[in-house]
Amino acid sequence: MAGHPPPRRRDAERNRQAILTAARTLLARSGDVPMYEIGRSAGVGQATLYRHFRAREDLVLAIFSEQLAELETVAQARRGDPDAFLDLLRTIVEMQARYHGLVDCLRWTTGAGLRQRLERAMSEPLATAASDGRLRADASIDDLHLITGMVDGALRSEHDPTARARIATRVVALALNGLTRS
Amino acid sequence: MAGHPPPRRRDAERNRQAILTAARTLLARSGDVPMYEIGRSAGVGQATLYRHFRAREDLVLAIFSEQLAELETVAQARRGDPDAFLDLLRTIVEMQARYHGLVDCLRWTTGAGLRQRLERAMSEPLATAASDGRLRADASIDDLHLITGMVDGALRSEHDPTARARIATRVVALALNGLTRS
């Protein structure tokens, strides 16, 4: 499913990467940043911007796809490592804190597709961690979706990036270790 | 702050209670139920309904106020009991699962007022539980808000009441005991 982009001329690919780099920075600052500001920051014209990404959703989808591809690579590289699941979970939550609000830009179908891809990437790491006794006996992939939902909920009213990162870290600490003394 | 309602004639009070009872049932089923259905289910006319509750927000506020008053009573009755905090937290989360979506009906100021009242009611139980070693050493009242936010986030996409209750229970299990094996 990850696949490779169709062959592009080198300058087209350079423009695409410049747009994505600008989008990652600007969208991490605010999910409401207008498309033309992303184009300006990337140093490309509006025509070029819209040739690569017809709508805001395509841009957000490309960013999430890239992040998922990284996650898939790490999951693959760490096959059999019982610590991989918790490390990957922390990475996912950091992404959520950074790009909070962007999920709302996605159509339901697009969001569901990414969710399934996340689930596929995380199933093996979760099973490995569980069979090594790292997780509670009843841990399941549903808990992963629950935790990302929990993080989203806790972040909802916070717009300051520093505070968001702090909240996300605390939610993970609670979700993994619990509020009660173990 | 809880206070007593101003003196009312007995039938007016009976109508008010009938409206609140109907609202609790119907709003637990769907946060979108129209005002006239609540009036009809309570067996009161529209004029009576709107004399008691001018807007949907007043009704939601009254329901949350009642629930908070119960919470305050229990917190008061169990002063010094180190188990009170976790029991009260479970009650709060059950309320969230039951009346999920109603918080969105409240103006920001009203919501903030309830939040402060919740914080006041829960501070002493939290301190008692913490000093008894029931909670992790760095537990604070901010964690309470975080957990209610986490529950809200996990419930956001689920509309079936039974599934909501199940999700809320699981979120509390994760938030209190963690996903990792303790």
ipTM rounded to 2 decimals = 0.77
3-state secondary structure of A108: helix
Output the pLDDT for position B49.
96
Output the pLDDT for position A109.
79
Which residues of chain A are under the pLDDT cut of 50?
A: 1
Q: Are A3 and A65 in contact (CB under 8 A)?
A: no
Flag whether residue A86 sits within 8 Å of chain B, measured between CB atoms: yes
CB contact under 8 A, B152 and A157: no
Distance CA B73, CA B89 (A): 14
Across the interface, of B136, B149, B156, the residue whose CB is closest to A179 is B136
CB contact under 8 A, A181 and B137: yes
Which residues of chain B are under the pLDDT cut of 70?
A: 1-8, 181-182
pTM of the predicted protein model: 0.82
Flag whether residue A134 sits within 8 Å of chain B, measured between CB atoms: yes
Output the pLDDT for position B182.
53
Sign of the dihedral through C-alpha A9, A14, A19, A20: positive
Flag whether residue B153 sits within 8 Å of chain A, measured between CB atoms: yes
Q: Are B63 and B20 in contact (CB under 8 A)?
A: yes
Output the pLDDT for position A140.
93
Q: Which chain B residues are closer than 8 Å to A176 by Cβ?
A: 178-180
Q: How close A173 comes to chain B (CA, Å)?
A: 8
Distance CA A96, CA A107 (A): 17
Neighbours of A112 (CB within 10 A): 11
Across the interface, of B133, B155, B180, the residue whose CB is closest to A177 is B180
Output the pLDDT for position A51.
95
Output the pLDDT for position A78.
97
Q: Rounded to 5 degrees, what are φ and ψ at A132?
A: -85, 0
Residues 6+ apart with CB under 8 A from A67: A95
CB contact under 8 A, A177 and B136: yes
Angle at A77 between CA A75 and CA A82, to 5 degrees: 60
Output the pLDDT for position A88.
95
